[in-house]
Structures are given as structure tokens and as C-alpha cells.
Amino acid sequence: MAALADSLRADVHRMGAGERLPSSRSLVERHGVSPVTVSRALALLAAEGLVVTRPGSGAFAAGRREAAAEPADLGWQAVTLGDRSVDAAGVSWLLTPPPEGVIALSGGYLHPTLQPARALATAMARAARRPDAWEMPRLGGMPELRAWFARTVGGAVSPADVVITSGGQQSLTTVLRALLPPGAPLLVESPTYLGVIAVARASGLHPVPVPVDADGVRPDLLAEAFAMTGARAFYTQPTFHNPTGTVLGDERRAQVLEVARAAGAFVIEDDFARHLGIVPPPPPLIAQDGDGRVVHIASLTKATAPSLRVAAVIARGPVAERIRATQLVEEFFPARPLQEALLELVSSPGWPRHLSAVRAALRSRRDAILTAFARDLPELRVNRPGGSLHLWARLPDGVDDTALAEAALRAGVLVSAGRPFFPAEAPAPYLRISYGTAASEPELAEGVRRLSTVLRS
Ligand SMILES: Cc1ncc(COP(=O)(O)O)c(C=O)c1O
């Protein structure tokens, strides 16, 4: 579509105002594309103001806009906005699709061939047919969806403890804003999901690193960090941690809760990859929480598709009230059609089948990429994750991970430098390599081969 739009844009610039573009049918024939692609390209040019479409008579070149010649003076804005800024570089790197021909070993969502596209289309169609689909949902979320999340999490959680939110990232924003005032410290694992570092900083919080090892966060250092900072919250991913893939050990689960209890602090549990277990995951921390210490975030985009932006926050006591109030003030409620669609999806008989298929595909892909690493890059230390989408590869000392990721992109493979996953200094260079985002296992192997060529050079 982009190529057709580029070509039409060039044509339109050569045409006079009011001149007629070739018909859709001749564009289909000339460019060898589908009618849908033609109408999407024309819609894009119409949105850019370059063409005007008149139903029944075709598309016409629009007149040049005079204003374009004289760019407005926007300099005043820099002064007015002041010295605050929002750093979206890392998040944008993760969310930008790779250029044509580049193999994606980066990104946080399943390749489209692993997403339940047909089931999502059916769920959305059924949701949209409901006569009240566009009415307000019940505040806090659809009762059946809240009940589904409560059942999935288990323990003593009840549907009343669940609030439906607009995805995992939005949940992080809402929870952090609800729990902590600007300027407060937030303890986070080091490394951690770079999106939480970004959202914490954008909310005026100070992420403070607490190291993880092969068993997850170290409780002794967590206790020290609480003592040194007086922090009132710790953000953690105990299950299939991003980026290291670790699962917090059984003994440590109790210790982390105990350390947080001693500090009078909350534990924010980001359970983003529960359904992507190559091995069965342990129950979430909140299932063993006896005093409302854990605020649990359950998102489903990782097991489905990035635009299914509905998730849940589960909490008990006054903090739940604070979170509900914060959400209401910030965004009213998540769009009802999406809530309905998610409910349709998870209640359909195909849902467990989809999850089993994804887990089997991830197991096979993980094994394939590890074989490729053993063959082409035996000198790199990589972990063997029990779930989720990523490998965490330790680079040889002295290698610049950012420069390497940039060189890899030029060589046709997209990987993530480890540096942005550390809230402060990185103790060593790493790469995060995703095995769920490429099109196929041969692509994974080819991606590793390209990476080895870059590393050797
Ligand atoms: C650990 C973790 N938490 C939360 C998110 C946010 O995802 P979403 O908003 O799609 O639920 C991501 C996405 O990459 C993630 O990796």
C-alpha cells in the first residue's frame, strides 16, 4: 500500500488542480494490487489533502495549499513547554515495525501468523452486533469479564476486586499515578521492561534498580533498596520476566512479599506473559497475598494481538478504590466494544485451542533459535526461557550493544540493545532477541546468521 501511495503522490504533484486520477480499476491493473489496496492508498492521499474523492465520479488532484509555502513560527512552544520531556525512544523502537526485508527479532507481540485473527474477527463482529455495544459499560468493567479475570487469577480474588482497563501499558500508568506522588522512588528489577521505566519517568517518578539473577529479583538487595530509599512500591514481573525470561523462585516469592510487608510497601505484579508458558507458570503472587499487598496487572495482548487493548488491574482494599477513582478521572472507561470482544474471545471454544497452539509454536521457535545460536554464535551466553517471547543474550565484554543493534539493522536483522532495559548503568552488554516476532523458524535461523556476521565483523 505504501508503495502505491508513494507512486500516486508523485503523480498528483505533477498534475494540475482538479485533474482526474486514473480510475480505480485501471490502478488495480497497472499496479497489480487489489481494489482494497487502491482504496486505502486513495484514502491516505485524501487524508493528506492531496486528492479529493467524489463518489461516483472518481478521485481528483486537490489544489495546492497556500499555507504550506509559509511554515508557521512555532518557536514560542519550546519556551512555554519548558525543560520537561517525555522519552519515548525505547518504546518507539519496540513498536516500530522493521523495514521491508529486515527480520524482526525484536518487538513485544506475536507475529500475525500466530495471532488468533479469525477468532478475533468473529468476536468483534458478534460484539458489534449487540444493540447496546456503544452504550456505556458498567463502571469498573463488564461483570462477566471481571468474573473471568478473577477466576483466571485464582486465590481469594473476587470479581469485585477486578477493574477492567485499556491494556497493560495504560494499567501501569494508572496504577503508578494512583499509588505514588510525583518525585517518589519506584523500585524496579534491573533489568526491567523499558516501558515501565519510561512511564515512571513520564509520571515524575524515579525508578531505582534492584538486580535480578537466574531466580529473579534478589530479596536481600530488595530489602536494602527499601531501607535506602523509603520506597512505597516495587514493580516486578515474577513470571517470564521481560527481558531475562526468569521466573521468580518459589522460596523467593514468599521472601519478596515478606520484604515488602516489612517495608509497608505495595508490590505491583505485571503478569503480562502468563498465557505464553512453554512450561506451566506458577500461580501469580497475588494468589498468595494475604493482606492486599499485591496490585496485579493482567494483560492479554501478548497472547492475542497488540490492538486488543483491554486488560485488568486486580487489587483489594483502599488501594483498589484509589485505582478505580484514578481510572475514572483519567479515561472514564475502556471502550465497551473491545470489552465485549475480549469476553467473546475468551469464552469461545477455540480459546484454549489457540493458547495451546501458541505455546507449542513458541516451544518449537525457542528450540529452533537456540539451535541457531549454538551453531552460529556459540560464544554468546543465552538463557533458555520457560515462556514468553525473548532470549537475553550476554555479549562479550567491550561490545557496544547499541552500536551492534544499529549495525544488525543495517545487515537486515532487528534486535534490541540491552542498555534501555536498565534504569541506571548496565553491568554488562546484552541483546534482547525475540523469537515470537519473526515470520517463521527459517527466518529465525537466518536472523541469527545475519547477527553472527555482524558480530564477527
Ligand atoms: C512486561 C510488559 N508489561 C506491559 C506491557 C504492555 O503491553 P500491553 O499494553 O500491550 O498490555 C509490555 C509490552 O511490551 C511488557 O513487555
| C-alpha cell, 376 | 552460529
Given a cut of 90, whether residue 455 has pLDDT beyond it is yes
What pLDDT does residue 69 have? 63
Mean pLDDT value across the chain: 94
Domain annotation for the chain: domains and CATH numbers:
2-67 (1.10.10.10), 89-115+352-456 (3.90.1150.10), 117-347 (3.40.640.10)
**Which pLDDT tens digit goes with each residue over 226-273?**
999 999 999 999 999 999 999 999 999 999 999 999 999 999 999 999
For the CA atoms of the chain, what is the radius of gyration?
24
- Any idea which of 9-13, 222-226, 295-299, 332-336 has the lowest mean pLDDT? 9-13
CA distances from residue 50 to 16, 21, 64, 115, 240 in whole angstroms, order as listed: 11, 11, 8, 35, 48
- Protein residue with least CA distance to atom 4, ligand 1: 168
- Protein residue with least CA distance to atom 14, ligand 1: 108
Question: How far separated are the first and last CA of the chain, in Å rounded?
Answer: 36
Among residues 329, 363, 315, which one has the least CA distance to residue 162? 315
pLDDT over 70 for what percent of the chain? 99
- Protein residue with least CA distance to atom 8, ligand 1: 168
Given a cut of 70, whether residue 64 has pLDDT beyond it is no
Q: Which bin fits 308, alpha (ψ -120 to 50), beta or left (φ > 0)?
A: beta
Mean pLDDT within 96-105: 94
Say yes or no: CB of residue 209 within 6 Å of ligand 1.
no
Given a cut of 60, whether residue 66 has pLDDT beyond it is no
Residue reference for cell 552460529: 376
Say yes or no: CB of residue 239 within 6 Å of ligand 1.
no
d(CA 193, ligand 1 centre) in Å: 8
Say yes or no: CB of residue 195 within 6 Å of ligand 1.
yes
Given a cut of 50, whether residue 67 has pLDDT beyond it is no
Cα dihedral 371, 376, 381, 387, rounded to 10, equals -30
**Which pLDDT tens digit goes with each residue over 141-176?**
999 999 999 999 988 899 999 999 999 999 999 999
Say yes or no: CB of residue 242 within 6 Å of ligand 1.
yes
DSSP 179-226: H--TT-EEEEEES--HHHHHHHHHTT-EEEEEEEETTEE-HHHHHHHH
Say yes or no: CB of residue 106 within 6 Å of ligand 1.
no
SS3 271: strand
Side chain identity, residue 234: F
d(CA 413, ligand 1 centre) in Å: 22
Mean pLDDT within 84-88: 90
Say yes or no: CB of residue 334 within 6 Å of ligand 1.
no
What pLDDT does residue 391 have? 97
β partners of residue 367: none
CA–CA gap between residue 158 and residue 177 (Å, rounded): 24
Beta-strand pair 206-213/185-190: parallel
DSSP 361-378: HHHHHHHHHHHHHHHH-T
